[in-house]
Amino acid sequence: MLTAVAAVVFGLALLVWSADRFVEGAAATARHFGMPPLLIGMVIVGFGTSAPEMVVSAISALQGNPGIALGNAYGSNITNIALILGITALISPITVHSQVLRKELPLLTGVTIFAALQLIDGQISRRDAVVLLAVFALLMGWTIYQGMQKKDDPLASDVEQELAAQTVPLRSALLRLIGGLVLLVIASRVLVWGAVDIARSFGVSDMIIGLTIVAIGTSLPELASSVLATRKGEHDIALGNVLGSNLFNTLAVVGIAGSIHPMAVGPEVLSRDVVVMGVLTLSLFVLGYGMRSRAGRINRIEGALLLAAYIGYTAYLVRSVFAA
């Protein structure tokens, strides 16, 4: 048991560290090969913050533990909104621009509903997984196209300046890229083994472990980047990071895991976890709505409410385990 706990702690620490190295190496390598800075920021860095969820879910599916894969994806979405945005808002209120309410949030809401419809028959088949991946590819392609049209976007300029300041030699960039990816896989295998062992020791399902321990651990990169961005006044990056990660988890992470290992989905996932995920997503409309032509804000009180919602959800999961 102690070995399993140590494996989870070590796996999480190595996962976060290796994900950071992977993102740095991927961005530097892409820049050496002439990839536009905006695309690096949108695609590579965006993928990088969700790399832990992707690799952990893929390893879980390969090892025959699809519950951890699905719980990791949906649990990370709940963690991103309730825990990460809650903590971030407590540190510094988050400004929510009207574009987020008109575009990004409706898109994420629609994707959440679409994903829920895939679960009605109680399973995620390979066909469902392929559909999820296809929708993700279309959305990613459209986002890249839209981003490339906005040459005067101030955010793009910030990304270009930041990347221009990075002068990592190609050899070092490749070492970080490959080394980070290898360590990501190793860390994920260690984490999944420890999580499964703990689940069996306590007699709980892989799904519960995925929704709690694994979800928190794989969301640490989002927490670090969101807090850092907010402290620098980059509220768009902090909020966009969470929304983009949730979109990635719902479509790509579940799609990858389902294509590797089709999974049965218990009715509690649809009635409990997907409902909580959907309600939290919709709550951002209310929290971020501005009054009298002013930009909306997720203030410290609302951040505390999000954090309380996460604590309540987690307590309910724990209670359900011991009540069973």
User: Does residue 14 surpass a pLDDT of 80?
Assistant: yes
The dihedral sign for the CA sequence 75, 77, 82, 87: positive
The per-residue pLDDT for range 96-109, each reduced to its tens digit, is: 877 777 788 898 99
Compute φ and ψ for 96, nearest 5 degrees: -115, 110
More confident residue, 103 or 149: 103
- Rounded to an integer, the average pLDDT of 173-181 is 81
Both tokens of 105, joined, read 């949030």
The per-residue pLDDT for range 228-275, each reduced to its tens digit, is: 777 767 666 677 778 888 998 999 999 999 999 998 888 889 899 999
The per-residue pLDDT for range 194-216, each reduced to its tens digit, is: 887 887 787 788 888 888 888 88
Q: Domain holding 63: CATH number?
A: 1.20.1420.30
The per-residue pLDDT for range 20-53, each reduced to its tens digit, is: 777 677 767 777 776 665 555 556 666 666 778 8
**Residue 42: its pLDDT value, please?**
53
The per-residue pLDDT for range 134-148, each reduced to its tens digit, is: 999 998 888 777 766
User: Does residue 55 surpass a pLDDT of 70?
Assistant: yes
Q: Name 149's Cβ contacts closer than 8 Å, sequence gap at least 6.
A: none
Which residue's entry shows tokens 């990304």?
Answer: 159
Nearest Cα neighbor of 11 from 203, 197, 254 is 197
Nearest Cα neighbor of 29 from 172, 188, 148 is 172
User: Does residue 166 surpass a pLDDT of 80?
Assistant: no
**d(C-alpha 232, C-alpha 12), whole Å:** 26
The per-residue pLDDT for range 60-93, each reduced to its tens digit, is: 888 888 888 899 899 999 999 999 999 988 988 8
Tally of structural domains, the chain: 1
User: Does residue 161 surpass a pLDDT of 60?
Assistant: no
**Residue 193: its pLDDT value, please?**
82
Domain, as residue range, for 285: 2-323
Angle made by CA atoms 282, 263, 56, in degrees to the nearest 5:
75
